[in-house]
Amino acid sequence: MRTSEVGRVEAGQPMPGEQISKVIVSKNADHPVGSIVRLYAGWRTHTLVTSDANQRVMKMPELGDLPLSLALGCMGMPGMTAYFGFLELCQPKIGDTVLVNGAAGAVGSLVGQIAKIKGCKVVGCAGTDDKCKWLKELGFDEVFNYKKVDLSEALKAAAPDGFDCFFDNIGADFTATALKHMKLFGRVSICGQISSYNDKAPPKGEYPFMLILGKQLKIEGFIVMRWLPRWAEGEKAMGQWIKEGKIKFKETVYKGFEKMPEAFVGLFDGANTGKAIVSA
């Protein structure tokens, strides 16, 4: 929402976003009254879906007794971002050492747990001691509060031999520093750059291009919708891991539609642990 839509959304138009909704009136046999759907409706309380609209109504995954909100979190876009963005691009192997920044967020917390399922050593960082404590509860092997350490020294202490995989949610100075600690032929998945989304000018700092060349790193950015045809595969895997207790989650829930702006701003202040959810 911050990077792709701000500046293109005009006054009077809804901000974009995905929601879980109940059908209250229907002329579509595939979506009868009372059914629950997932759609890209934006920040609105009611939505009229027409056949020529671009609202991308999607079938709900099989949730069983799990909360509906997981269709927006672990089994929604954040979960698929972690599942495909890590497994497809980083190609983790048993024994690999994996670095995840923004590790207490909706995506990072899942990446770390998937890496553990795949037999990796996982290093994560977050911005508060409480978040770091939660990461240890999730099974992260090494955790540090990046606001309290020298980043390069913390990375060296956590992985003296370097990292095989790096899942990057933060960007800018963190990324430039972390690349120095990659092993030869390391793999880097560029998921987000939240540290610079609000910058008014290009960030100043060291350019990492010679490090990428010298270490022969594989670095790839991605947008999760490239795997939309395989969505059901990721949902099934994530749902099974949740039911088996291999994936744990937290949600920061804001009650009331009027809380949408507060929830959005909170993403940049680190107010959320796990997925931020607004519940009507």
Length of the chain: 280
Instruction: Give the Cα separation of 179 and 219 in Å (integer).
Output: 10
Could you state, in order of their start, the residue ranges of all structural domains in the chain?
A: 1-60, 67-280
**248: which 2 tokens?**
């744990």
Residue 58: pLDDT band with limits 50, 70, 90: confident
Q: pLDDT tens digit string along 65-87?
A: 999 999 999 999 999 999 999 99
From 4-13, 39-48, 147-156, 183-192, the region with the lowest mean pLDDT: 4-13
Q: What is the DSSP string of 4-71?
A: TTTTTSPTTSPPP--EEEE--S-S-TTS-TT-EEEE---S-S-----TT-----BPPP--TTS-GGGG
Q: pLDDT tens digit string along 135-144?
A: 999 999 999 9
Q: pLDDT tens digit string along 227-270?
A: 999 999 999 999 999 999 999 999 999 999 999 999 999 988 88
> Which fold, 67-280?
Rossmann fold (3.40.50)
Q: Structure pTM?
A: 0.85
Which is more confident, 242 or 9? 242
Q: Residue 121 forms beta bridges with which residues? A: 97
Q: Residue 100 forms beta bridges with which residues? A: 124, 167
Instruction: Please check the confidence at residue 15 and state whether its pLDDT lies above 90.
Output: no
